[in-house]
Amino acid sequence: MECEKKPVRVGFCLTGSFCTFKTAIAAMERLKDSGYDIIPIMSHNAAFTDTRFGKAADHRERIKNICGRDIILTVTDAEPIGPRDMTDIMVVAPCTGNTLAKLAYSMTDGAAAMSVKSHLRGGKPVVIAVATNDALAGSFKNIGTLMNYRHYYFVPFAQDDCVRKPNSLVADLSRLEDTITAALCEKQIQPLLLR
Ligand SMILES: Cc1cc2nc3c(=O)[nH]c(=O)nc-3n(C[C@H](O)[C@H](O)[C@H](O)COP(=O)(O)O)c2cc1C
């Protein structure tokens, strides 16, 4: 699209959907390989929780190596993002139900949510990649709220297991770069709802 100006500076927030980390980090690596400049950000839970999906320190090391810079991990380090005009677009991938709720209510008590707020100060786009088991239940209202806010765009998503997890939605991160390209032109990529 014509309004895309490369290299684009992408704030890339990871929040605590640990089963999605592998796909999200691979998507981050593809963006980097395509020439995007990536500022990595992690929520406290994402950065410091060891789970069966991997050790927190290993995830941090890998992300730091891909991006070639330190990860923003605190509210203090996230605050300058807007004032210093550090980002063209902010991605939250994966975005948990918890972070969806915080963003919908403008809460900024951690690095991820604060990064989004600080970036939004400049009226620039935010891309959300949902990954939560309660997307069609408790989080549905928050997804709807954010869809109705200016500057928010969503990576296309689908139900990932409608039999065993009927309320779960997961974004298709193979569509992340296309979503970013459209969002930089103030457009929501379509179709949003995948099967
Ligand atoms: C192993 C594991 C997997 C999780 N997967 C998800 C998930 O896919 N989606 C989600 O919304 N929360 C998930 N959670 C819960 C979040 O990590 C938890 O709500 C946390 O408070 C999120 O904080 P954050 O949004 O600040 O990262 C998971 C937790 C654990 C321990």
Q: What is the pLDDT of residues 174-191, one digit of tens each?
A: 999 999 999 999 999 999
- 6 has pLDDT over 80: no
Residue 2 lies in a domain: no
Mean pLDDT for the chain overall: 97
Residue 33 CA to its chain's centroid (Å): 18
Residue 190 lies in a domain: no
What is the per-residue pLDDT for 1? 60
Domain containing 107 equals 9-184
Atom of ligand 1 nearest to the CA of 112: 26
Nearest CA to ligand 1 atom 18: 16
Residue 123 lies in a domain: yes
- The residue to mutate among 17, 48, 160, having the most atoms of ligand 1 within 8 angstroms of its beta carbon, is 17
- What CATH number does the domain containing 167 carry? 3.40.50.1950
What is the per-residue pLDDT for 190? 98
Residue 4 lies in a domain: no
CB of 97 closer than 6 angstroms to any ligand 1 atom: yes
Cα(18) to centroid(ligand 1), Å = 7
φ, ψ at 92 (rounded to 5°): -115, 105
Report the 3 state secondary structure along the chain: CCCCCCCCEEEEEECCCHHHHHHHHHHHHHHHHCCCEEEEEECHHHHHCCECCECHHHHHHHHHHHHCCCCECCHHHHHHHCCCCCCCEEEEEEECHHHHHHHHCCCCCCHHHHHHHHHHCCCCCEEEEEEECCCCCCCHHHHHHHHCCCCEEECCEECCCCCCCCCCEEECHHHHHHHHHHHHCCCCCCCCECC
Using a pLDDT cut of 70, give the percent of the chain over it.
96
Task: Please tell me the total count of domains within the chain.
Answer: 1
What is the per-residue pLDDT for 5? 59
Nearest CA to ligand 1 atom 6: 17
Residue 189 lies in a domain: no
- 81 has pLDDT over 90: yes
Return the half-sphere exposure (C-beta side, CA atoms, 13 A cut-off) of residue 32. 19
Cα(93) to centroid(ligand 1), Å = 12
Nearest-angstrom CA–CA distance, 16 and 177: 21
Where does the pLDDT of residue 4 fall: very low under 50, low under 70, confident under 90, or very high at 90 and above?
A: low
| pLDDT, mean of residues 75-92 | 98
